[in-house]
Amino acid sequence: QTVVTQEPSLTVSPGGTVTLTCASSTGAVTSSYYPNWFQQKPGQAPRALIYSTSNKHSWTPARFSGSLLGAKAALTLSGVQPEDEAEYYCLLYYGGAWVFGGGTKLTVL
Amino acid sequence: QVQLQESGPGLVKPSQTLSLTCTVSGGSISSNSYYWSWIRQPAGKGLEWIGLIYNSGSTRYNPSFRSRITMSIDTSKNQFSLNLSSVTAADTAVYYCAGDAGYWGQGTLVTVSS
């Protein structure tokens, strides 16, 4: 059973920078896992932010960026806004199947 | 602008089959995404990938569902569908459809109860 692990919760101050990570139980996350990142606010459907490690959708704010950080996929928010408070999920590809991480609850305080 | 809309019964009895359809509007289903997915989310919990179907009709399923799941696509209707058989209360969740281009439906709540 493949497990994708994210920080359960993180807190950041408005205007600050925060990095969320996504690890795989199978080993180092590489670009071959095509990491995706999603944002979900309470009562709303998830919104796609990043695909294939670092590519942004047309609607993704510039302050969001994706990368590989050591053995993990990472989502960095620079200049955090109050409206960035949400749950963030990563999604990794395992040769035909995809697995979501458990999500990170980001609090802006 | 591409939009996705899930539709189907909101209540399914235990042991029966859950059937959902996702209708894609704002463009052709064959050109807007390479593949289409179903994802679900039980109340208060995280997202779970169920499976995907390519525009060609090929499928990839979460091994957890493999024996119960069928997906299909009808490009003439701009729709793709999910059938999940032998449902139990554990299948109660909000079900989302999504395309690999980043578009998601708003989700539909399916409750399994007698």
Query: Which pLDDT does position A1 carry in this prediction?
Result: 86
Alpha-carbon distance A78 to A85, whole Å?
A: 13
Query: What DSSP string describes B50-77?
Result: EEEEETTS-EEE-TTTTTTEEEEEETTT
How far is the C-alpha of A106 from the C-alpha of A96, rounded, in Å? 30
Q: Is B61 on the interface with A (CB under 8 A)?
A: yes
Give the DSSP letter string of B4-54.
EEEES-SEE-TTS-EEEEEEEESS-HHHH-SEEEEEEE-TTS--EEEEEEE
Residues 63-92 of B with CB under 8 A from A: 63
Query: Closest residue of A to B48, CA-based?
Result: A100
B47 touches chain A (CB under 8 A): yes
User: Tokens in use for A89?
Assistant: 């999920």
Interchain contact, A45 vs B104, CB within 8 Å:
yes
Q: Per-residue pLDDT for A91 more than 80?
A: yes
B16–A contact, CB cutoff 8 A:
no
pLDDT tens-place string over residues A56-69: 999 999 999 999 99
Q: Average pLDDT by consecutive 10-residue portion of chain B (114 residues)?
A: 95 98 91 88 98 94 92 95 98 96 96 97
